[in-house]
Every structure is written in structure tokens, then in C-alpha cells.
Amino acid sequence: MKTTLRNTLIALVTFSSSAFAAGSGAASGGGLLMSLFIGFFALIIVCQLVPATIMLIGVLKGLFGRDSKEIASH
């Protein structure tokens, strides 16, 4: 059992070494159009984070801020 496993691993490493040495054929970089496409969607996400952050700050102030009626009664 151990020799079979060892021989299988040796064969796997030996025959796949050329695949590890090969360049990345599918990942050609994408070019300018791909960069603009990704940048456009990144800009959309960033523009949605600004109002979401402002709303989160408002909610936190409402939850943890002092109530105006409570301050007036003291």
C-alpha cells in the first residue's frame, strides 16, 4: 500500500512538472478594456459606500446618543 502510494506520487510529480513550468496561457492580462470594466464597478461600489457610511453614523448617533427629552428633564 505504501509503495503504491509513493509510486503514484512520484509519477504525479514527474509528469506534472512540465505543467508547473508552463506559463499562464489563459491569464493574458485582459488589456485596457478589462481594467476599465473592473474600475467602473469599483467606482460604483465606492460611491455606494459613502451614503451607507453616513447612514450608519446617523443610526449609531440615534441609538447611542442622548435623548433630548431626557436631557431637558434633568
Residue 44 has what pLDDT?
Answer: 95
* Model confidence pLDDT, tens digit, residues 41-72: 999 999 999 999 999 999 999 998 877 666 66
Residue 9, pLDDT score: 77
Q: What is the pLDDT of residue 30?
A: 74
Residues 26, 29, 33: CA angle, nearest 5 degrees:
120
Compute the distance between CA of residue 74 and CA of residue 70 in angstroms, rounded to an integer.
Answer: 7
Please tell me which of 1-5, 9-13, 60-64, 70-74 the model is most confident about, judged by mean pLDDT: 60-64
